[in-house]
Structure 1
Amino acid sequence: MFEFDHVSFQYKQSSERIIDQLSFQIQPTQHIAIIGANGSGKSTIAKLALSILNPTEGKIKEKPNLKKSIVFQNPDNQFVGVTVEDDIAFGLEYHQIPQYEMKDRIYESLELVDMIDYLQHEVSKLSGGQKQRVALAGALAIQPDLIFLDEVTSMLDPNGRQQFGDILKRLKHRQQMSMIQITHDMEEAKLADLVIVMNDGRKIMEGSPEEIFTRVDELRAVGLTVPYAMRIAHEMGMDTSVYITEDELVNRI
């Protein structure tokens, strides 16, 4: 469906590769989390995937007519309409969605993110979490095959992150689309089907969350942590060679 095939990228004025020989594939309905410390190349992957940047080497392959959308870290960077409805409608017009179909898509996407009551609200007056949910609704309204989430919760407070995470869980089960989530939040990453770990532009690990998050010391060596239950278990000296959930941690304690 979509593939990075030995992709590298560097800016012309630099001799340093931001992305170095990166390969991965995503299949229909698969959820991939790409994690890494700041400067590891995560956001550059999204820009390459959306053709904002072009690879220096390698190829990005995708099926014909693949529909892609993205939600950025700062939702203010992608708003163009005054009201919530106007903003989502603008994206639909850009993708040449027929007028008779637009209203249904706007309503459906806002219901998915629990923002239908804010249809006529001014975007500028929404909270950070509400803005991010509207940005997600706009990305969902075009009914993408593949959606990129680029550090979408990094500017939210804990409550906003929790709400957004709950929405993503629902989307994973209800929407027939693939998702690439770029994040440094391990609680988000553990929801993925596959986790890719980046460091200095290179992929250094790939596997299921259960496989990746048992490698506590290796992750710490590249500036990453692990989900809460694994972190506590490790600090208490428990065996973390097998993935531990919060419920399992409570039982062990």
Structure 2
Amino acid sequence: MPLYSAFAIWIVGSLSFLVFKVAMLSVWAVLSFWKIRLPYYMPISTAIEYGGVAVLMDWLARAATPSGKDPEILSNYPYYLLTIWLIELGFVRFGIPALIKTTAERADGRPAPLPENSQAASTPRKTVIKIGSKTIIAETLLYIRSEEHYLNVTTTTDSFAERAALTTIIPNLEEVGGVQPHRSWWIAPLSKPRYRRINGKPHVVLVDGTKVPVARGRMSKLKKWIESQNLD
């Protein structure tokens, strides 16, 4: 196969993979918009997307390869897929958190200081944070639940899911004064948690009826936090 043909096929394959990826994410986003929340498993999605790309590239390669010669694209599909998985894993594990942190540091997330003699100076300052593509006022948060690579966020006025990591969001919530009863949960004083035992296991029940499990190692800290907030 001529070098220019191989180069053209790989360009077409890369663009096709990008189109398939955007299409899959768009379908998931539309379902989420209509409150149909389905788990998104990137390795499975990638395998489906690259499967279509591999078939397309194999067809193009055979058209540009002398008859009877195998371009070895489909036969090497598992090795190509494994390479893509490793690249995506590195991006999700290290790339996205770094981008979120950099964006948060640049945006700062704090309103500009007001003059002391301004009437607005007496208004309590609000903490603005970014969660994925959403910008919200931290003081309106009720709770956040981590699920796979996404955060399910509930505020006093809204509920949404965004791709983000709980560990990168919590440092921005210090002024809110919340607590983590479980590694996958963060709750704010506004959620008015009440400590309860459900089926013999420790939980906190929030203002909207949501039941949050409590890890044994965090129980003492949680009870002290509830007492300090005069919530129980």
Same structural fold, with TM-score higher than 0.5 when normalized by the shorter chain? no
Please, what TM-score do these two structures have when normalized by structure 1?
0.22
* Bigger helix fraction: 2
Q: Which has the larger radius of gyration?
A: 2
